[in-house]
Amino acid sequence: MVNARLSRRAALRGGAGVLLGGASLGVLPLFGSPDRKQDPDSCRARDLSASQKRLVVSNWPAYIDEDDDGYVSTLTEFEQRTGIKVDYTADVNDNLEFFAKVVNQLGSCQPSKRDMFMLTDWMAARMIQVGWLQPLDRTKVPNLHANLIDSLKGVGWDPDRTYSAPWQSGLSGIAYNKSKVKEVRSFEELLSRPDLKGRISLLTEMRDTMGLTLLSQGADPSDFSGDEWDDAIDRLRKARSDGQIRAFTGNEYIQDLSAGNILACEAWSGDVAAAEDENLVFVSPEEGTMIWSDNMLVPNLATHQGNAEKWIDYYYEPEVAAKLAAYVWYICPVKGAQEAMEKVDPTLVDNELIFPTAESLKTMHSFMALEEFQIRAYEGDFADVIGG
Amino acid sequence: MSLAADRASRSLRLTALTKEFATFTAVRSLDLEVPAGSFFALLGPSGCGKTTTLRMVAGLEVPTSGSIHLGDDEITYEKPYRRPVNTVFQNYALFPHLDIHENVAFGLRRRKVKDVDRQVKEMLALVELESQAKKKPPQMSGGQQQRVALARALINRPEVLLLDEPLGALDLKLRRAMQIELKRIQTEVGLTFVHVTHDQEEAMTMADTIAVMNGGVIEQMGSPAELYENPRTTFVANFLGQSNLIAGSVASAEGDVVRVDMHGNQVSIPAERAHARSGEGWVGIRPEKVLLAPAGEPIDAPGNHLTGGIVTDVSFVGVSTQYLVQMPWGQELMAFEQNTGRRAVLAKGTKVDVSWRPEFSFLLPASQDVNAGVLEEA
Amino acid sequence: MRRGRFTGYWLMLPAALWLALFFVIPFYSLLATSLYDPEGSVLTGYDVTYHFANFVDALDDFWEPLLRSLWYAAVATAICLVLGYVLAYAIAFKAGRWSSLLLVLVIAPFFTSFLIRTLSWKLILADDGFVVDTLQFLHVLGDDSRLLATPVAVIAGLVYNFLPFMVLPLYASLEKIDGRLIEAAGDLYASPSRGFLKVTLPLSKPGVIAGTLLTFIPAAGDYINASLLGSPNQRMVGNVIQNLFTSTGDYAAAGALSVILMAIIVAMVMVYIRTAGTEELV
């Protein structure tokens, strides 16, 4: 009798469990993740630029000049000239992080509350692909089309610069600590020299690290085949299993390099200049460097596109571009800025990190545009090597 | 059953034992001998040094100077776990994570004694807790916990069992019952018990010998009756029961009688109870020894006879009546009278004569504080 | 009177809402993620197709960092237990009037961010730092060896970061122990070491259980220590999950791995509590 009651209770409990489990499985599809593609033609806002003299901009930290006593920044001059009040925030720290910040709004045609933000090429390409960005009116940005340097024209993901305007560019190459180790000339050396074993770091940015690896394997990062990719990823995997690589890092590698934890590393040009450590040397590897740009982009439902276009056109004036470049020390994407630099700071006119020569430009490569399925596969391969 | 059978009991001797703490001296040069097999009580108000003395015997405090001996062995600096001494702690200190059986077995297991289970069962039988062996201490009543604590200490057959206010946490009725129980067990097992308490009634009920402690020293030591009948200090006179203490001056001290002039009345005190032989002193008499009669009527007690009292307060408490009698010099004396029915209860305001038999009175030096020990018990 | 019958249920409402909002919904969301069709992507969207093979795939691909995480967390917890016990014991019984100050010092690291604290360990354990120099001088470490980017550094970081989670519950349960119980043990022939084993240690068991759980669970899921103090060869499952979610955008695998980690931890905790026993936790 007791047993019977017990087993009935157990059966009831079991039944309830099954029911709950079944109900749970039924509920799960509600948590699916929707398609994020949008159509920029239909997902656009009325431009209020004429009536509202405002502009909301998101950019990376330390990426613009600032007012200092006696020095009037390019941004302040822009405001004075146009009467547009700029709401400028340095809230882009990482492409993927920023993507995560806006994916829910832009992915479902909601306002991102920004008129413009600056993102790196590949992320810009991705956003163009899914239709999150508004095309710029060519007639409103004549300086962009007249003054953009040739090497940045005709990129695969935005051939006519319809959606993007480069803000600044930079190089990925090699840095080493000259007080600790003799010169490192090539990326292959970095991956194989015995005296560097366990004392180098590479970047977690897939396009930079794989671009340089592809170059070292004789492939062209802007146009490579699946086999070439496999060779490159194998090369990287071997370096890792050999114990050559100490770490895959983000921005923090520069401290490790200064501290001597690593002797040489893959590095971004601007960082080495900004570190102000005379022992740190930036080298363009013999195989070539990767060049990347951060681009001014106008998202769907931006309400001040006209003002954003005024901003872009303003920063493509050579004098303004020179003034900005003298402050941030990145590659200036504006033709004529080199000449204009004579007046701003003559010592910087021949600085290769700001104005690369035609010769060195030939050694600078960009990474080819990837389809979503390629991103998945390649990021997965890369994550396998740097993690797990 | 004699738990002490396997070891000859030895006396406990404290010599010039002193314990100083940073800001005060708890025990001052204490000398004490506890005979083997006795039930000994250390009685005193809180802060008198009795618990510190006990803890030094247990090894939980290290004396500043002096020595502790068990028979001929010195144990002054012996580690607590190496002394044949066990303690029943105030609030019992039972191990909450162990059941009753394991609590009682704790000491045996530490000494790797065989036959633990049988001994524990016997011990639990002695304290009448056989059926509770599997319970945990928090599930038991205060009285049961107290008996577990006793069993846990007794099972080790210590040469000396120390009891630190063991009944303090129990209610009055249970306390009375446990007093009798403890005395029974002590008689049964024949061990030396040293019992610390601030309750004079508890000490008198159980102990063979009481040492009254005050301010880190022993005021007086002796059997309960001795201490009660013939206190040597005002502290003992007041702390153990109650006393009437009346100022007087010694008129003569010859032979076995001391005569004292007390506010114009001559009273006599046996020499062996007179602890002052000249000058001023306190004449002491216990309230139940004070006899009353309406003024002028005869009192059947020869000896000290005082007149001119007035009853100022009457409390009827059933078996007895307590009177306050104001004497001509203003002092109020207490008198307890058995309600034998021989005479009606005296009304408030009645003029009375007062008397007592000289052999019940005692004389203390006037240098002692007349209020020492009063109400300290509470 | 009748209205009062339901008061109890209404009072439960805030807690129930809280649970629904911060546990049930996220949990279902995670469970759904783990059953996504792996062919989806962040941009094209994911459908819940009950793709249970995600679990097999995730285990197959990532069993190594998964085991490594459990191993590192177990070692770190064991070290924390020993260090934390000594520390908590000293604070509870030996520190006297210094105990509150010491407790504040135990919590003091929380005044800075987790990230900053871990980064400063990077400086302390640096190849040219004094720790490595000293160990090399003493020949504990070879001239060419290092601490950073080794399991030692990662475990040291875990120990450092989670030690307060061990110390505080241990302290709480040790501090509660009545000193007279330890005196009683001594009185009953237990030497200090036996007294510790038979009385202090069992009475501090609730603290030991709480402390080990509070240390092991976050340590097993941690990724900061491995990514800042380790090299790719010390990656823990947290790093893998983070990578899958943010870089690769492989939500299905990331979700499956998260669910697996959670299931393993829940199972381990249940076995642990059952073996350690909680019925004595007064």
Mean pLDDT within C48-77: 93
Chains with at least 3 CB pairs less than 8 angstroms from chain A: C
- Closest residue to A27, CB basis, from C28, C43, C243: C28
- Residue-range domain boundaries for chain B: 12-229, 234-365
CA distances to A133, A371, B241, C158 from A55, rounded to whole Å, are 16, 32, 96, 46
What percent of chain B is modeled with pLDDT above 70? 96
What is the token pair recorded at B60?
């939980």
Across the interface, do A36 and C45 touch by the CB < 8 Å criterion?
yes
Kindly state whether residue C10 falls inside one of the protein's structural domains: no
Size of interface A-C (CB pairs under 8 A): 122
Kindly state whether residue A231 falls inside one of the protein's structural domains: yes
Residues with Cβ within 8 Å of residue B85, at least 6 apart in sequence: B57, B58, B59, B70, B75, B158, B159, B160, B161, B162, C187
Kindly state whether residue C15 falls inside one of the protein's structural domains: no
Q: CA nearest B30: which of B15, B42, B11, B13? A: B15
Across the interface, do C32 and A204 touch by the CB < 8 Å criterion?
no
Q: Is the pLDDT of residue B300 over 80?
A: no
Across the interface, do C188 and B86 touch by the CB < 8 Å criterion?
yes
What confidence score (pLDDT) does residue A155 get?
A: 83
C-alpha–C-alpha distance, residues A168 and C145, integer Å: 41
- Closest residue to C183, CB basis, from B60, B85, B106: B60
What is the token pair recorded at A219?
């492939």
C-alpha–C-alpha distance, residues B243 and B289, integer Å: 10
Sign (positive/negative) of CA torsion B231, B232, B236, B242?
Answer: positive
Structural contact between residues C189 and B111, judged by C-beta atoms closer than 8 angstroms: yes
Q: Which of B110, B148, B159 to mutate to test the interface with C (most CBs of C within 10 A)?
A: B110
Which residues in chain C have their CB less than 8 angstroms from residue B60's CB? 183, 186-187
Whether chain A has a CB inside 8 Å of the CB on C41: the answer is yes
- Closest residue to C188, CB basis, from B91, B96, B106: B106
Same domain, A303 and A285: no
Q: Is the pLDDT of residue B46 over 90?
A: no
Tell me the nearest-neighbour CA distance from B71 into chain C, angstroms: 20
CA trace torsion B316, B318, B319, B322 (10° rounding): -10
Kindly state whether residue A355 falls inside one of the protein's structural domains: no
CA distances to B106, C146, C193 from B156, rounded to whole Å, are 9, 58, 20
Q: How many CA atoms lie within 13 A of B50 on its CB side?
A: 27
Crossing angle of helices B142-154/B100-110, nearest 10°?
A: 20
Kindly state whether residue C271 falls inside one of the protein's structural domains: yes
Q: For every residue of B195-261, which 3-state class applies, written as one string?
A: EEECCHHHHHHHCCEEEEEECCEEEEEECHHHHHHCCCCHHHHHHCCCCEEEEEEEEEEECCEEEEE
pLDDT band at C277 (very low <50, low <70, confident <90, very high): low
With tokens 């990021």, the residue in question is A379
Q: Do domains B12-229 and B234-365 have the same CATH topology?
A: no
Sign (positive/negative) of CA torsion C54, C59, C62, C65?
Answer: positive
Q: CA nearest A292: which of A175, A128, A96, A119? A: A119
Kindly state whether residue A36 falls inside one of the protein's structural domains: no
C-alpha–C-alpha distance, residues B261 and B249, integer Å: 5
Domain region containing C56:
33-275
Number of folded domains that form chain A = 2
CA distances to A75, A341, A343, A361 from A347, rounded to whole Å, are 24, 9, 10, 21
What is the token pair recorded at B121?
């069962």
- Closest residue to A380, CB basis, from C40, C48, C248: C248
Element (H, E) at C260: helix C251-276
CA trace torsion B97, B99, B105, B107 (10° rounding): 30
- Closest residue to B138, CB basis, from C181, C188, C282: C282
- Closest residue to C149, CB basis, from A100, A246, A388: A246
Q: Which fold has domain B12-229?
A: Rossmann fold (3.40.50)
The residue of chain B with its CA nearest to that of C281 is B97
Tell me the nearest-neighbour CA distance from C124 into chain A, angstroms: 11
pLDDT 10s digits, B308-350: 999 999 999 889 999 999 999 999 999 999 988 888 889 999 9
Tell me whether chains A and C touch (3+ CB pairs under 8 A).
yes
Across the interface, do C127 and A25 touch by the CB < 8 Å criterion?
no
Kindly state whether residue C28 falls inside one of the protein's structural domains: no
Kindly state whether residue A324 falls inside one of the protein's structural domains: no
Structural contact between residues B337 and B323, judged by C-beta atoms closer than 8 angstroms: yes
What is the token pair recorded at C151?
């399991």
Kindly state whether residue A233 falls inside one of the protein's structural domains: yes
Structural contact between residues A232 and A219, judged by C-beta atoms closer than 8 angstroms: yes
- Closest residue to B97, CB basis, from C180, C195, C203: C203
Q: Is the pLDDT of residue C209 over 60?
A: yes
With tokens 């990287």, the residue in question is A236
Phi and psi, residue C258, nearest 5°: -65, -45
Kindly state whether residue A146 falls inside one of the protein's structural domains: yes
Same domain, A181 and A215: yes
- Closest residue to C248, CB basis, from A36, A252, A383: A383
Element (H, E) at A140: none
Across the interface, do B89 and C184 touch by the CB < 8 Å criterion?
yes
The residue of chain B with its CA nearest to that of C188 is B107
pLDDT 10s digits, B146-187: 899 999 998 998 999 999 998 887 888 888 888 888 888 888
CATH number assigned to the domain covering B234-365? 2.40.50.100
Residue B298 three-state SS: coil
Same domain, A231 and A187: yes
Q: Report the residue count for chain A.
A: 388
What is the token pair recorded at B296?
């002028």
CATH of the domain at A145: 3.40.190.10
What confidence score (pLDDT) does residue C281 get?
A: 44
The residue of chain C with its CA nearest to that of A385 is C232
With tokens 């093979």, the residue in question is C53
Mean pLDDT within C202-221: 94
What is the token pair recorded at A69?
């006593």
Mean pLDDT, rounded, of chain B: 90
Q: CA nearest B202: which of B227, B166, B229? A: B166
Q: Is the pLDDT of residue C168 over 70?
A: yes
Same domain, A198 and A245: yes
Same domain, A235 and A378: yes
Tell me the nearest-neighbour CA distance from B150 into chain C, angstroms: 12
Q: CA nearest C69: which of C241, C248, C186, C194? A: C241
C-alpha–C-alpha distance, residues B166 and B346, integer Å: 42
Structural contact between residues C265 and C47, judged by C-beta atoms closer than 8 angstroms: no
C-alpha–C-alpha distance, residues C209 and C212, integer Å: 5
Which residues in chain B have their CB less than 8 angstroms from residue C195's CB? 81
Q: What is the pLDDT along chain A (388 residues), one digit of tens a residue?
A: 455 566 777 788 888 888 777 777 778 888 888 888 899 999 999 999 999 999 999 998 778 999 988 899 999 999 999 999 999 999 887 787 788 889 889 999 999 999 999 999 989 998 998 999 999 999 999 999 999 998 888 888 899 999 999 999 999 999 999 999 999 999 999 999 999 998 999 998 899 999 999 999 999 998 999 999 999 999 999 999 888 998 888 777 888 898 888 999 999 887 787 777 889 999 999 999 998 999 999 999 999 999 999 999 999 999 999 999 988 888 999 999 999 999 999 999 998 888 998 888 888 898 887 887 888 789 888 888 886 4
Mean pLDDT within C224-233: 86
Residues with Cβ within 8 Å of residue A299, at least 6 apart in sequence: A102, A106, A112, A114, A115, A116, A117, A127, A132, A133, A134
A82: number of Cβ within 10 Å: 15
C-alpha–C-alpha distance, residues C98 and B15, integer Å: 37
Tell me the nearest-neighbour CA distance from C209 into chain B, angstroms: 15
Phi and psi, residue B44, nearest 5°: 175, 165
Phi and psi, residue A305, nearest 5°: -60, -40
Whether chain B has a CB inside 8 Å of the CB on C96: the answer is no
What percent of chain C is modeled with pLDDT above 70? 96
Number of folded domains that form chain C = 1
Type of residue found at A152: L
CA trace torsion C66, C69, C72, C76 (10° rounding): -140
A321 compared with B6, residue with greater pLDDT: A321
Question: Which C residues 91-110 touch A at CB under 8 Å?
Answer: none
Q: Which of C33, C119, C127 to mutate to test the interface with A (most CBs of A within 10 A)?
A: C127
CATH of the domain at C48: 1.10.3720.10
Q: For every residue of C133-155, which 3-state class applies, written as one string?
A: HHHHHCCCCCCCCCCCCCHHHHH
What confidence score (pLDDT) does residue B233 get?
A: 94
Kindly state whether residue C1 falls inside one of the protein's structural domains: no
The residue of chain C with its CA nearest to that of A380 is C248
Structural contact between residues B228 and B240, judged by C-beta atoms closer than 8 angstroms: yes
Same domain, A248 and A379: yes
Whether chain B has a CB inside 8 Å of the CB on C279: the answer is no
Residues with Cβ within 8 Å of residue C166, at least 6 apart in sequence: C77, C80, C81, C83, C84, C88, C211, C212, C214, C215
Which residues in chain A have their CB less than 8 angstroms from residue C44's CB? 35-37, 372
What confidence score (pLDDT) does residue A57 get?
A: 97
Whether chain B has a CB inside 8 Å of the CB on C43: the answer is no
DSSP 3-state helix, strand, coil percentages of chain C (rounded to 5)?
80, 0, 20
Across the interface, do B89 and C186 touch by the CB < 8 Å criterion?
no
Structural contact between residues B53 and B213, judged by C-beta atoms closer than 8 angstroms: yes
C-alpha–C-alpha distance, residues C111 and C105, integer Å: 10
Domain region containing A225:
170-291+372-386
Whether chain C has a CB inside 8 Å of the CB on B96: the answer is yes
